[in-house]
Amino acid sequence: MGEGEENVEDKKVKDISLRDLSKMLEEFAKARDWEKHHSPRNLLLAMIGEVGELSEIFQWRGEVEKGLPNWEEADKEHLGEELSDVLLYLIRLADICEIDLADAATKKIAKNAIKYPVPIKRLS
């Protein structure tokens, strides 16, 4: 580990912003001279590959219960890693495309609230 770098695994993060993750990813890519490979197309294809790996985890399990109560801890850890890979590629893709993902997601939720209003409950 370089000077000034923290071991992320040693610290349990309770809440981190998309902006913080974005900055970490940008620094990670710059330090490894990977930016030249981070075109929108390449990032999208990498993310699709990670979605495939994520889907493999569920492929033969059938329906699973919320909270995954019957899963081994190693399986849950693997799931977390694959979910993280998808999230990190998505954040990086949004940054490279100069899309404010938090703003776009907030606006999309608002649009969906209009498109799919809460059903009115009728009194019997």
Cα(103)–Cα(20) distance, integer angstroms: 15
The answer to whether 8 and 81 have CB atoms below 8 angstroms apart is no
- What integer pLDDT is reported at residue 122 of this predicted model? 84
State both tokens at 90.
């998505």
On the CB side of 63, how many CA atoms lie within 13 Å of its CA? Answer: 2
> How does DSSP classify residue 71?
S
- What integer pLDDT is reported at residue 14 of this predicted model? 75
- What integer pLDDT is reported at residue 50 of this predicted model? 98
pTM greater than 0.85 (yes/no): no
- What integer pLDDT is reported at residue 123 of this predicted model? 82
Q: What is the pLDDT along the chain (124 residues), one digit of tens a residue?
A: 455 555 555 567 678 999 999 999 999 999 999 999 999 999 999 999 999 999 999 999 999 999 999 999 999 999 999 999 999 999 999 999 999 999 999 999 999 999 999 998 888 6
Helices (H), 35-124: 40-58, 73-96, 101-115
Instruction: Identify the helix (H) or strand (E) that includes residue 22.
Output: helix 18-31
Cα(98)–Cα(95) distance, integer angstroms: 5
Picking from 116, 96, 62, the residue whose alpha carbon sits closest to that of residue 88 is: 96
